[in-house]
Structure 1
């Protein structure tokens, strides 16, 4: 549109349109004429009633749209009639249009004051659903509120989280993009940039927007642009092509045939009004002769531009030649003649029929036989048509027409893909549908594969950061959107089992993360088993020790009449060997899976058998001391420590330990537990002491007896004897005490199953120390030096050999 600054000294000139004619918009206006003529010829809808019309070109300009709105409301007189009432009836009953949202808003604010209903076929701004501001506005095309939500779900559907956004700097673009950005935020989508421009702005602004697109890292661009704005943007991008971009378009431009010449947009995907068929429309559009064209200025301009000739006399510049009637419009490749993709055109068609049905309900009476009788002389007021439009519900050519309380239809879209067809020509291909009326998650129904910007069927990737695999969590990069993050491994003991997890969480106490930290696996259970090397070694030593004790007992039994056996208190020796056998075997109770019975048995059996063993050693030591004291004149020591007293001492010492163990088991016995604290990654099956006092009382009593035995053995170590048993008892007790003194810190510090291994080792080491120190020398003499196994040798009466 042409306008200029006014000086206010002369009357302003009339507004004039400039630029080229939009043949697509011309098709819309001709579709309205076709629908009106179809209604006027109908015997069902408004029979006998003729609808008239007036067509104005708003030039997609707000000032021109406002001018037209005043003309619709007041007439075409250039001056106001001051003698007339300003509340007189408007000159029109209803309005079809405008195509743009911003001009529609300007018109509706004026015509709404006069309650003139306005039914738009292409104004999609969500703001027009506000009935407080636009009470007389209706539309046959869905609101951008639905399209914005659909676009956000489409972006989310294909996993794009890093996008660019471009909009027209108009009510249509700003409102639609605002709704999209809100929906995108709810879907977790981040926007790298959001820029706006309008086709009337300086070229520098356009180039700035184009440079933002070229330099961005987002590979997906959502364009909420009017068709004219998109055209000049693509022309600018064609000059210096950016990397391949996946365009996501609004219905305004994504089905505009004029856009198909831009290969930079190949693979574009967007929502479109469902394609439709209007019988007879193509024939009507092509039914143009030079005479018909010359009668309508808009058709004249279109004709002259399309065929590069001139119809009007005295007009040149459009074409050098004069139109001679040989022009064939059927062969013309133009959006005006293209009826293969009737989408918005059907919205015009439905808008006209909506108004016609509203008027029909006011002046016609439908009869039972399917005919109608209309009062052609009835006066129809705009406000009546307005109220009637709110409740219409009909179908035309199979397309339903109904308005909700906001004047909006049900939102149904086709998903259109720009695919390369034959001869490298881009074509519109419907690949799916979107229905906002179905339950959430079921809105999309895909029917064909999409060919993306690179020509393939593999979905392009557009993310700020690669997806975080299971086993990691997202950590937002400082100062950047939520979609820009680093993938950090989950901490020890934590997992994440799905992609792009924001947090990691701990496994339950008996589970531990697998190697990838993406699943919780049961912790391995550990205990000293008979099936592992350490368990086999300890069990072998235990059985071996028991066998050794049995062998020595057998040797002693077979030689029980010999002096060396008789001189060493054979009764206590056999009892000691028996107790040592039990000591070796009790270590087997420490191997294997702990149970209630094994936990109670292992500690009590160990405590009692060891006390029995030390009691025997103590008895033998006392016997040695008493024997030598009995040789002194007047001594009757042996009378006070004979065999009965020896047996009583052993039983008494052992009974005390048995009593301690009984109290321990009765009050707070050992029990099996799962140790979850020593090692985080595994479970240790072990026996809890139950009562630590009981455990240390058992060990302390054993230590007390061992210390007493050690002291007595030291006292007897230098007694004159050819075979001094006290000397060997001293060595054995020295080993015993050393083992159990070192056992305490080793037991406390050993982890897991090694705690049990240390205890078994202490039992075996002390048992081997006793049996080897006390019995091995005697067995060696019995077997290998029988000549020393005589009373004389023991009494020291054998002469020494000369050197």
Structure 2
């Protein structure tokens, strides 16, 4: 039977008579770490070796043994004990193997990365496989294997956790060493990349001399002279609610003492009220002997990442039968027993006056979880898997072969001079399912292939706690599903009332506002400013406001866009109804006047100044009133073609008729002078020529306009905030101005001619009325320009309709009202003799 040796380096260190006055020294030098809970790591190693040796299917005829050395978390002790591993039991003599029956096949390293580095430096020379549950990825040794997943997955898990709860203002706490510096630099870079700010990064350095008692230290702190005052104030009293803790043993131990000192100083048992702790893989509720009385409530609701683990069958039963006298060769168990149960054995050399006597019948299950747990912790699970990894690698070196047709498997391939370096090819390619059903294998970098569990820690006043698995970071999952979390299963600190805590530099900017960076502050600190007009923000903390899509407008709170309504002058709205009624009324009046004039066509007052021109003027005024209806309703292609062109054309006819009537009056009086040659110009031919000629010029302008750049329907999205203006785009502004300009030119000429003829004698002279009517006409269209240019949408159209109606009614009233008065109310004046007599 071959014997192979697996050596381990445990983090458990016995309490070597330390007293309350010999406090933890977190600086360099010999470090006492009396943590009974770490004894489970030794027991998991013992249990794994025992399980393998008792299993006939694994390494038959081969026995695994082990030696356990304590590093004391000290470089000198680590170096010395590592030299013992590669030497004989009697003395340190490297490169000499005097005990041929024992073969060192692998080394299980401790949890401290610095200690593992010291060991790997020496063991790497001999290519001895070293398997350690450490996260330090900077160690690049071919013979070094990590029984933990890639540390990068943990970093990404922390970032995803912070992103899930939208925590953007966090503090980082790490140890003041190389690992802590690397953790801080890596985390700050990743957090900044994902929009998360670091409020502070604190490296814990707590030097408390072993010669200073707790009371003297507290006294100095109260006086403001203690070395921890700044750390306590910045960490405990900080407004930061979320802390990311690099949870190595030294860091967590020092942090506990800092919180304890703060509790003593402030008399506040709710030290961590309003704090959320996010711990790395190294975290566990492990309490030193002198820390047992410390309250663990400040870590209630904490979240930590842990190596994925399952319950190992048989391990709780193994612990139940553990007895101080049952483990032969175990120098740690009696010390562990005394520390855990606070008693002394009868044969102990310690002073028993104030201590209880250990009976050996105490039950481990009665210990609080901070001292010892009956279920295997994640760190112990890593050691358990490490032992099985070595055993399965040895099994791959020695395949099972049936012997003489029997079912007995024998290993016949082990050479007598087997070297530990021969294990590497098999260890690198190892892949098996452990007794808990988990797959154990290494990736190409020598790290455990797998992910991390997310644990929620629920504490109780009796120092007990519960680990609640609430999520997982699984890099092997489908893309987008690597990080999962059950938010409903999380128990938060009682101060949060089961409401997800907020961790932001300042309050969120609500929708309708945008963030503006504060000068001199990290990018997570900002002021909130309302969105400018026409812009919205749909979500919290938007860096800039956005314009609504075309056809939509922002609401009053500027946090949502609504579809815009179509904006045009409708026949159904009050303004459109009023203008329509006015247009129809004036049209009806014009028709009645025309009917009256036709009925009295043979009377002197109708026959005066060219009866046909009067009819033409009334018809054109009727068309002017009716063309205003083209401006009401939703613009269409046909209505846009006809609006301005029909308006310009019919008004040109009307003004041409007025001009012709005025010129006829002037020529008629000039023709009465003796010897005047103007008689040949007096008559219908000249009047018709003026009307047709002036109208044809306007018609030509409109024809060119329609053939080159005609008006067309257009949707104006920007003029009005909440509506889409449906309008007729004029196509060519130049042609539109030509139409209006020519109309203005005719009106000006008509006014000037009528003004010159206003004092000509004769009752039939219409020059006075034409002068006044053209004055009204020109005044209306001159006052039309400013409001037309200053209004938008349907109101601009309403201004033009109003100008059409007023100017047309001005012509109708000023020219025809006096004649209608005589025809209807003073018919006795409507005869030639009476008119001459009055004249």
TM-score band, normalised by shorter chain: 0.7 to 0.9
- 1:687-741 Cα offsets, whole Å, 9 max, x none, are 3333444334433433343344334333433333245322222222232233334
Q: For the structure 1 residues 338 and 659, does the alpha-carbon distance in structure 2 shift closer, same or farther, using more than 3 Å as the test?
A: closer
Q: Of residues 426, 429, 436 in structure 2, which corresponds to 1:388?
A: 426
- Residue of structure 1 in register with 2:628 after alignment: 587
2:52 maps to: 39
Which 10-residue stretch deviates more, 158-167 or 516-525?
516-525
Which residue does the alignment assign to 1:272?
306
CA shift in 2, pair 1:23/1:636, >3 Å:
closer
Q: Secondary structure at the match of 2:283?
A: helix
1:146 aligned to which of 142, 145, 153: 153
Q: Separation in 1 of the partners of 2:346 and 2:626?
A: 124
For 2:214, the equivalent position in structure 1 comes to: none
8 Å Cα contact 1:126/1:176 also seen in 2: no
Structure 1 residues without counterparts, runs of 5 or longer? 4-14, 799-803
Q: Which residue of 1 aligns with 2:129?
A: 117
Q: Distance in 2 between matches of 1:148 and 1:446?
A: 16
1:427 paired residue among 459, 466, 473: 466
In the alignment, what sits opposite 2:234?
Answer: 212
1:47 and 1:374 in contact (8 A); partners too: yes
What corresponds to 1:246 in structure 2? 276
Q: Distance in 1 between matches of 2:772 and 2:365?
A: 122
What is the aligned residue count? 780
User: What does residue 457 of structure 2 align with?
Assistant: 418
Shift of 1:583: 1.8
Question: Structure 1 residues 664 and 71, CA, compared in 2 at 3 Å: closer, same or farther?
Answer: same
> Are the equivalent residues in 2 in contact too, given 1:93–1:381 (CA < 8 A)?
yes
SS of alignment partner, residue 729 of structure 1: helix
Matched, 1:165 2:172: yes
Moved more, 768-777 or 646-655: 646-655
What are the superposed Cα offsets for residues 399-456 of structure 1, whole Å, 9 maximum, x if unpaired? Answer: 3221112221123333222225697853222333332221343134445611101264
What is the aligned partner in structure 2 of residue 7 from structure 1?
none
Unaligned runs of 5+ residues in structure 2 are 1-12, 17-27, 210-216, 218-225
Alignment of 1:523-602 (within 5 A): 523-602=564-643
- Quote the residue 1:6 is aligned against: none
Structure 1 position 96 matched with structure 2 position 108: yes
| Alignment pair present for 1:127 and 2:138 | yes
Structure 2 CA distance for aligned equivalents of residues 523 and 491 of structure 1:
19
Do structure 1's residue 195 and structure 2's residue 202 form an aligned pair? yes
Task: Give the alignment's TM-score, normalised by structure 1.
Answer: 0.88
Residues in 2 aligned to 1:136 and 1:580: alpha-carbon distance in whole angstroms: 107
Shift of 1:248: 1.4
Equivalent position of 2:817 in the other structure = 776
8 Å CA contact retained: 1:144, 1:176: no
Report deviation, 1:384: 0.8
CA deviation map 1:452-477 (0-9, x unaligned)? 01264321111112222233322221
2-structure distance, mates of 1:293, 1:466? 59
- The 3-state SS of whatever aligns with 1:55 is strand
| Greater displacement, 665-674 / 631-640 | 631-640
Distance 1:635 1:178, change over 3 A: closer
Pick the aligned partner of 1:472 from 489, 513, 520. Answer: 513
Give distance in 2, aligned partners of 1:505 and 1:100: 52
CA separation of 1:256 and 1:143: change in aligned 2, threshold 3 A: farther
Moved more, 50-59 or 669-678: 669-678
Contact 2:648 2:698 in 1 (8 A): yes
Local SS of the residue matching 1:593:
coil
- Check 1:595–1:167 CA distance in 2 against 1; reply closer, same or farther (3 A cut): same
Residue matched to 1:297: 331
CA distance in 1, matches of 2:560, 2:94: 84
Summarize the alignment of residues 7-22 of structure 1 with structure 2, pairs less than 5 Å apart.
19=32, 21-22=34-35
- 1:289-335 CA deviation, whole Å, 9 max, x = no partner? 55456854322322343455544757132666796756434565166
For residue 532 of structure 2, give the secondary structure of its aligned residue in structure 1. coil
Per-residue deviation, 1:212: 1.4
Q: More deviation in 445-454 or 505-514?
A: 505-514
Q: What RMSD in Å do the two structures reach over aligned CA positions?
A: 3.5
Q: Distance in 2 between matches of 1:67 and 1:283?
A: 36
TM-score normalised by L of structure 2: 0.84
Tell me, yes or no, if the aligned pair for 2:149 and 2:450 is still in contact at 8 Å. yes
Deviation per CA, 1:513-555: give whole Å up to 9, x if none.
3333334444444333333333333333222222111111222
- What SS is found at the alignment partner of 1:357? helix
Stretch moving more, 306-315 or 58-67? 306-315
Contact preservation (8 Å) 1:294, 1:311: no
Q: Compared with structure 1, are the counterparts of its residues 434 and 546 closer, same or farther at alpha carbon in structure 2 (3 Å cutoff)?
A: same
- Structural mapping, 1:616-655, within 5 Å: 616-633=657-674, 637-655=678-696
Q: Post-superposition shift, 1:176? A: 4.1
Output aligned runs, 1:631-710, within 5 Å. Answer: 631-633=672-674, 637-675=678-716, 682-710=723-751
Structure 1 residues 254 and 206, CA, compared in 2 at 3 Å: closer, same or farther?
farther
Shift of 1:776: 0.7
- Cα distance in structure 2, aligned partners of 1:677 and 1:196: 57
Tell me the equivalent position of 1:28.
41
Q: Would the aligned equivalents of 1:249 and 1:271 in 2 still touch at CA under 8 Å? A: yes
Counterpart of 2:541?
Answer: 500
Match of 1:379 among 397, 417, 420: 417
* Cα distance change of structure 1 residues 185 and 789 upon mapping to structure 2, 3 Å threshold: same
One of 71, 76, 79 as aligned partner of 1:63 = 76
Q: Give yes or no for contact 2:109–2:131 (8 Å, CA) kept in 1.
A: yes
Q: Could you tell me how far 1:777 is from its partner in structure 2? A: 0.8
CA distance in 2 between partners of 1:733 and 1:476 (Å)? 64
What SS is found at the alignment partner of 1:781?
helix
> The residue matched to 1:51 in structure 2 has which SS?
strand
Equivalent residue number for residue 9 of structure 1: none
The separation in 1 between residues aligned to 2:311 and 2:416, in whole angstroms, is 34
Partners of 1:28 and 1:345 within 8 A in 2: yes
The answer to whether structure 1 residue 354 and structure 2 residue 389 are counterparts is: yes
CA contact (8 A) 1:124 1:172 kept: no
Quick check: 2:640–2:728 contact (8 Å CA) kept in 1? yes
Distance 1:208 1:89 in 2: 58
* 1:223 pairs with 2:230: no
Aligned to 1:729: 770
The change in CA–CA distance for 1:545 and 1:384 in structure 2 (over 3 A counts) is same
Secondary structure of 2:311's counterpart equals coil
Change (3 A) 1:421 1:766: same
Sort the Cα spacing of 1:316 and 1:629 in 2 relative to 1 into closer, same or farther, 3 A. Answer: closer
